[in-house]
Structures are given as C-alpha cells and as structure tokens.
Amino acid sequence: MTRNDPYTLWQQCTDILRDNMSATAFNTWFAPLEVIDYTDNILVLRVKSQFVVEYIEENFIDILSRAIRRVFGDTTRLEYRVLIDSASGAGVTYPSTTRPQSPVAAMGQTFDPKWESQLNIQYTLESFIPGESNRLARTAAVAIAKEPGRTAFNPFFIYGGSGVGKTHLANAIGNEIAALNPSMRVLYVSANTFKLQYQQAAIQKNIPDFLAFYQSVDVLIMDDIQFFTGLKGTQDTFFHIFEYLIQSHKQLVLTSDRTPLQIHDVQERLLTRFKWGLPAEIKRPDYELRRDILRYKMRRNGMQLSDEIVDYIARNACQNVRDIEGVLASLVAYSTLLNADIDMQLVRRVVSQIVEIAPRQILIEDIIGTVCEHSDVTEKAVLGQSRQKDVVRARQLIIHLAKRLTDHSLTEIGNAVRRSHATVLHSLETMSSQMEYDSVLRHDAELLESELGK
C-alpha cells in the first residue's frame, strides 16, 4: 500500500477519530468500518447496518466530516454501504447527509442551484411500503411526483396519527420530484420552523424578502400544519404564499395529525383551501403491512430474523411504523454492542421496553382455522351442513372457545359459524356436559385454548 492509497488515508482518519472520542465509542462505531472504494472523490465505507449509519450521522457526523476533509480533501463526499448478501456483494448505499444551508439564511438572496431542499434523502417512495392503510395517499403521491402542480391533488393534505408515515411520504414526494426535475426548487419545512422564520423576518422588517423567497419555490412541503393554531400573523403570511403558489401551478404538500375540519383557531379561508385538493388519511398499519415493513427494513439492514420473531414484532408493535423502527434499531444496537445473536428472549425484552404489550385479541377466524387444522376437517365442512361426528365436534369446539376467548355475543358467534342462536346455546350446553366425563375432549379444548392464547 502506498502512503496515499485510500486504506492508508482512512487509517489516518481513524487516528484522528480515536484521539477525539472515548475508546468505547471508537471501538463500537468506527473500528469495524472498512473502506470499499475511493473513486471520483467519493469515499465508500462498509457498515454493518442502516442503524450504524443513522447513529454515526446523528452523533458523530461533524467530527467524521472534519477528519475526512482534513485527510482526503475538501471535495471528498462520503457514502456508506450496507451489504445485504455477502455472497453476491449486493447491498444498499446511503449517502452521508451534510449540514444544509438554512432557508432563513437563503432568504433575499439570488437563488443558488446548490441551495438545499431540506429533504431527508432517506425517505423515498420505494421505501414507503404500500398497504391498505396508506394506499390512497401513496397512489396520489406517485401521481404528484410525476406531474407536480398539474394534478387535481393540489394542495395534497396528508393526515394521520403520530408515526404512521406522513413525514416519510411528504419527503418522498419531494425527493422524487427533485430527481425527475433537477431544476425545480423543492423545499421541505416544518410549520414550527416557518413560524420562527416569519417572526425573525418581522423583527428585522424583512417580510417582503421572506415572501419573495417562499414564492420562488416550485414545490413547498410543510409538515405539521396544525401548529399554525392561533398565530394570526403567520397564518396571514402563509395565506398569501399559498394563494401565489396555487395560482402559479406550484405544488403544495401539507401534513397534519388531524383533518382540516379538526384544526381549531386557524382562519376559515385557510381551512377551506386545505380542502381544495385531496385530503388523504394514513391509518395505523395493519398486520400484513407491519410484516412487509419489517421484512423491507430487515433487508435494508442486512438482518435475518426468524418468521416467529417477525410475527411477534408485527403483532405487538402495532401502533405505528415508528414503534417497528424503534424495535429493529434497538435489536441491532443490542446485537452490535453485545456481539450477541438476536433470539426470541432478546426480542421479547426489547419489545416490552418500547411498546405496551396488550393481551392478544383473538378473532373467531383464528379459532376456526386452528380447530379445523387440529381436528383435520375443512372450514367448508364446519360452516356447511355436515352432520359427521368429527365435523360436529369441531364446530362445537369452535363455539365453546369463541365464548371463552372473545367478547362476541352468542348471536355474533352464531353468524360466524352460520348457526342460529339456539344452536349455539345447545352446543355450549353439550360441551359443558361432555367435558365433565370426556377427558380427551377436555384436553383438546385446553390445548387449543393455550395455543390460541400465545
């Protein structure tokens, strides 16, 4: 190796890093990094997982950037590579984020094509996994990204609870537009940041420049619009910006934790305009979507988890996507810091620290499927008119377990198995009587109840 080859240069960087942080921090986060490539002033480092990338970017990016600039030069850019398949070398590349110029500093200046959009480049349409809970919002987002300002979805108002993916989708729209239209001025800003910028502009008597800056934007993405509540001056100013951008066929994307109808202390003229385009809700992800998100993030992190672990996380981290990300990040952290395998015991401990594990809600459909599999009969036979002994026994077991394990009424249980209220009552009485002397039936019922309650 020569003195100027990338491996030697990276060793010089690590010497700087080692001298400026604790031994534990260096050994945990930087010692395992490896140089993969250094071409065209792009330094590529191999990392173990996306979690490592995010942790370094959040906690050490300043010192890492200074070390790289000092050793490799000011024009060097950093990328991380997470291997997904070590055999084929397939992996995912993550560009390092830089400290972007503040929109406040850019106001009143001639537009600079290097001016940053403030978008989070990790949020893409590809990584926004589709499901029933977000299908409308994602479909509209794809259409907007292709023709910003030219669809009926303007403004595009995304609403939903915390952690369901509103910010992700809003940023993804901006990133896609920027990729397809490099000359467009795309800006992401939170409502709270906009408020602070407006207040600073008002103090400095610089409102005209403030307006001019925002009216120069082609795509304005504003997060958490509900924080405009009670701010008359901010609302007035945003109204004028909104009107100008809409009339100029510029695209607006707004997010909120509630519908326009539920936002209070905001001017009616603004609320009316929020409803002009398409309000689209992102709901809590269902079980299937949670599993899909888990599998996607596992691939991105180069993780392999058993189906049992994936199922456990998906069933318990059920409130929002943020919980799923928190569980995976914690698992990677435990595995990285303790050099330990991710097993079910660790998963249970991590999940219990992040989410409140509620008793599992058992569905009648679950009971029907489990009993039919155990009894070796078909659901079609159980729900049909068959009077065969094994089918009748399975049907009565289903009714017995549904009464014990769910909150459904006898009428609802009867509807589920296509039987009358009287038949359900008779089945319950029969089961109660037979279980007193039939130890095999009693054992089967207890075994199935235990299995369903896991």
- The token duo for 6 is 């990338």
Mean pLDDT of 323-345: 77
pTM of the predicted model, to two decimals? 0.59
3-class state of residue 196 by DSSP = helix
Mean pLDDT of 28-49: 88
Residue 384 above 60 pLDDT?
yes
Contact yes or no for 278/250 (Cβ under 8 A): no
pLDDT in tens, 103-114: 444 444 333 434
Look-up of token digits 């509807």: 415
Angle between the N-to-C axes of helices 389-405 and 421-434, in degrees from 0 to 180, rounded to the nearest 10: 100
Contact yes or no for 284/164 (Cβ under 8 A): yes
Query: Which of 23, 112, 100, 32 lies closest to 61 in space, CA to CA?
Result: 100
What is the DSSP pairing of strand 251-256 with strand 90-95?
A: unpaired
In angstroms, the CA 162 to CA 451 distance is 33
Q: In this predicted structure, what is the pLDDT of residue 419?
A: 92
- Contacts of residue 282, Cβ cutoff 8 Å, sequence gap at least 6: 133, 134, 137, 158, 159, 160, 164, 165, 166, 169
Determine the length of the chain. 454
Q: What's the Rg (C-alpha) of the chain?
A: 28
Lowest mean pLDDT: which of 52-66, 384-398, 413-427, 431-445?
A: 52-66
In angstroms, the CA 309 to CA 291 distance is 10
3-class state of residue 379 by DSSP = helix
Residue 141 above 90 pLDDT?
yes
Q: In this predicted structure, what is the pLDDT of residue 254?
A: 94
Query: Which of 136, 101, 178, 382 lies closest to 277 in space, CA to CA?
Result: 136
Helices (H), 302-420: 307-316, 321-338, 344-354, 364-375, 379-383, 389-405, 410-417
Q: In this predicted structure, what is the pLDDT of residue 144?
A: 94
If phi > 0 it is left, if psi is from -120 to 50 it is alpha, else beta; for residue 349 that is alpha
Q: Which helix (H) or strand (E) holds 433?
A: helix 421-434
pLDDT in tens, 142-163: 999 999 988 889 899 999 988 8
In angstroms, the CA 66 to CA 128 distance is 33
Distance of CA 209 to the CA centre of its chain: 36
Domains of the chain: 6-95 (3.30.300.180), 114-281 (3.40.50.300), 287-354 (1.10.8.60), 364-452 (1.10.1750.10)
Distance of CA 128 to the CA centre of its chain: 7
Q: Quick one: pLDDT band at residue 397, thresholds 50, 70, 90?
A: very high
Query: Which of 206, 263, 203, 274 lies closest to 238 in space, CA to CA?
Result: 274
pLDDT in tens, 73-126: 888 889 888 876 555 556 677 787 644 334 444 444 333 434 578 888 888 898
Residue 442 above 70 pLDDT?
yes
Q: Quick one: pLDDT band at residue 29, thresholds 50, 70, 90?
A: confident
Residue 27 above 90 pLDDT?
no
In angstroms, the CA 322 to CA 166 distance is 11
Residue 402 above 70 pLDDT?
yes
Task: Look over the chain and give the mean of its residue pLDDT values, rounded to a whole number.
Answer: 83
- The token duo for 48 is 């173990």
Lowest mean pLDDT: which of 272-286, 336-350, 371-385?
A: 336-350
Helices (H), 266-305: 268-274, 287-301
pLDDT-above-90 percentage for the chain: 26
Residue 186 above 80 pLDDT?
yes
Q: In this predicted structure, what is the pLDDT of residue 112?
A: 41
